[in-house]
Amino acid sequence: MRVEFLGTGGAVTTPQPFCRCRVCAEARERGVPYSRLGPSVFVHGPDVLVDTPEDIKEGLNRSSIQNIAAGLYSHWHPDHVMGRRVWEMNLDFRAWPRENTPTDIYLPQQVGHDFRKMLGSWDHLKFLEDHGAIRIIELTDGDTFTLNDTRITPFRVAEDYVYAFLFEAAEKRLLIAPDELNGWKPPDYLSDLDLAVLPQGLAEFDPFTGERRIPKHHPVLRVEATFDDTLEIVEKLGAKRTILTHVEEIDGLTHDDLQTLGARLRDEGRNIDFAYDTLIVDV
Ligand SMILES: [Zn+2]
Ligand SMILES: [Zn+2]
């Protein structure tokens, strides 16, 4: 398997329009790897696209992807779904009769339920299905499916409207957890991972100076995992390698800062890297 990071930003991508902070200023001037599209990864092998942020078309256009066998959604939040129109690329606007090439879209159980209530995602996907752009496949919790000899198992994290995905192929085990690991305790069946892709978590403290960045009683700290929480999860998972993504612009960390931090963590014996847009990693 091979993981391609199409977008490594979080709910707020980098640069944020009109933001004058140093992270955004640098990203605006220098582009990749300093800029970050919304959160999405592609897994080569099974050829699965995980989530479609609003800028997914740009991520796909600059990628090495040749074919998308299936799409997967992790949860209903806008930063993960608002690029649903990308599936219109499967519609044949030239020939008549049309020769559409629909993509299978897998929706874990709760995602299917939430899409019916939130942001019009269900109506929009149905519209795309009716026009021949996609086929919706609703999963029940516990279901697995296999694509190109890769077994894919969606499962809920502690925030139980959110799914992570275990990919298993040729004795390799890959975990993709797109977001929302607040309160999550990794289950035993996730031992022996070759690679874990996890959200970075909010920088409650500046990782270099230790200075508090988010006020102690800010409600976001009750609902979001912090970077320190993430390091605990990394420790418990014990994957051979971990790559952190879903990097929030508001954390105020540049690509260079994160590369420095990654080097420090590896010096401490932890095999952790920070993702950037266009990064490709073999598993
Ligand atoms: Zn997100
Ligand atoms: Zn900014």
Distance 19 CA to ligand 2 centre (A): 5
Q: What is the pLDDT of residues 251-266, one digit of tens each?
A: 999 999 999 999 999 9
Burial of 69 (0-12, 13-18, 19+ CB in 10 A): middle
Predicted local confidence at residue 80, as pLDDT: 98
Percent of the chain with pLDDT over 90: 99
Q: Is the dihedral of CA 55, 56, 61, 63 positive or negative?
A: positive
State the ligand closest to the CA atom of 225: 1
Q: What is the pLDDT of residues 125-165, one digit of tens each?
A: 999 999 999 999 999 999 999 999 999 999 999 999 999 99
**Quick one: tokens of 232?**
């605990």
C-alpha–C-alpha distance, residues 134 and 128, integer Å: 6
Predicted local confidence at residue 202, as pLDDT: 93
**CB-facing half-sphere around the CA of 205: CA atoms within 13 A:** 7
Predicted local confidence at residue 241, as pLDDT: 97
Do residues 262 and 274 make contact, with C-beta atoms less than 8 angstroms apart? Answer: yes
**Quick one: tokens of 88?**
């219109």
Residue 4: count of CB within 10 angstroms of its CB: 20
Distance 10 CA to ligand 2 centre (A): 12
> If pLDDT is split at 50, 70 and 90, which confidence band does 94 have?
very high
> If pLDDT is split at 50, 70 and 90, which confidence band does 280 have?
very high
Predicted local confidence at residue 227, as pLDDT: 95
Predicted local confidence at residue 253, as pLDDT: 96
Distance 202 CA to ligand 2 centre (A): 15
Taking all residues of the chain, what is their mean pLDDT, rounded to a whole number? 96
Distance 57 CA to ligand 1 centre (A): 17
Q: Which of 145, 257, 163, 221 is nearest to 276 (CA)?
A: 257
Do residues 229 and 203 make contact, with C-beta atoms less than 8 angstroms apart? Answer: no
Over range 200-221, report the average pLDDT.
94
Over range 222-248, report the average pLDDT.
96
State the ligand closest to the CA atom of 253: 2
C-alpha–C-alpha distance, residues 218 and 213, integer Å: 11
Distance 22 CA to ligand 2 centre (A): 7
pTM: 0.96
Do residues 246 and 39 make contact, with C-beta atoms less than 8 angstroms apart? Answer: yes
Distance 131 CA to ligand 1 centre (A): 28
State the ligand closest to the CA atom of 10: 1
State the ligand closest to the CA atom of 80: 1
Phi-psi region at 158: left, alpha or beta (left = phi > 0; alpha = psi -120 to 50): alpha
